[in-house]
Amino acid sequence: MNVEKSARPVLAGKCLCGAVEYAVADEFVYAANCHCSACRRATGSAFKPFAGIERSKLAITQGADKLMLFGDDHGCDTRCKLCGSLLYSVVREGMFVHVTMGSLVDDPAIRPTKHIFVGSKAGWFTITDDLPQYREHAGTAEPSGE
Ligand SMILES: [Zn+2]
Ligand SMILES: [Zn+2]
C-alpha cells in the first residue's frame, strides 16, 4: 500500500488531539449519513456522516501505536486512544473502511447522498434536506419518502 503514489489527490485526516493522522485517497465509493443508534452513540451526535473506500486506500501516517479498536471484525471502530476521536470503522469483512467525514482535514470530492437507518433516527433530530431516506440500508428497502 502506498497511497502517496496514487494519481488521484490524497486527503489528510486526523484526530482531535493530533496524535493520529491518516492519508486516504480521494476515491470514496459512497457516502451517507447513518442514523442508527450505534453510530449515534459512537459519535455522540445525531448521525454519522461517513464515506466508504477500500481499506488499502487508507494509511495511518502518524500515531499507529495510538490507535484504539472497539468492536469485532464486522464493525471495528478505530479511534485515537488519547482523545477518543472516531476516525474510521473497518467493515465488510475487513475489505472496506467507513471514514468519519468529520475527521477529514481536506474536503473530499464525494458528498453524502442519502440518509440510512432513518427507522432508528433520534426523535429530537429533524432531517431538513432533500436527500433520499432509507429505513435501513440503502438498497434493501425503498426510500421512506417524507
Ligand atoms: Zn487524538
Ligand atoms: Zn450506523
Domain boundary assignment for the chain: 3-29+48-107
- How far is residue 10 from each of residues 19, 21, 118, measured CA to CA in Å? 19, 13, 31
Compute the distance between CA of residue 34 and CA of residue 70 in angstroms, rounded to an integer: 18
Q: Kindly list the protein residues that place their beta carbon closer than 5 angstroms to ligand 2, a single-atom ion.
A: 34, 36, 39
> How much distance in Å is there from the Cα of 100 to the middle of ligand 1?
14
CA atoms within 13 A on the CB side of 33: 23
Among all ligands shown, which has an atom nearest to the Cα of 14? 1
Cβ–Cβ under 8 Å, residues 88 and 102: no
Q: Using the 8-state DSSP alphabet, how is residue 57 labeled?
A: G
Cβ-proximal residues to 130 (8 Å cutoff; 6+ apart), any chain = none
Closest ligand (CA of 120): 2
Predicted pLDDT at 8 = 72
pLDDT attached to residue 146: 43
Task: Write down the CATH number for the domain with range 3-29+48-107.
Answer: 2.170.150.70
Query: pLDDT tens per residue, the chain (146 residues)?
Result: 555 555 679 999 999 999 999 999 999 999 999 999 999 999 999 999 999 999 999 999 999 999 999 987 567 999 999 999 999 999 988 999 999 999 999 999 999 999 999 999 999 999 999 999 999 988 655 555 44
pLDDT at residue 4 in the model = 56
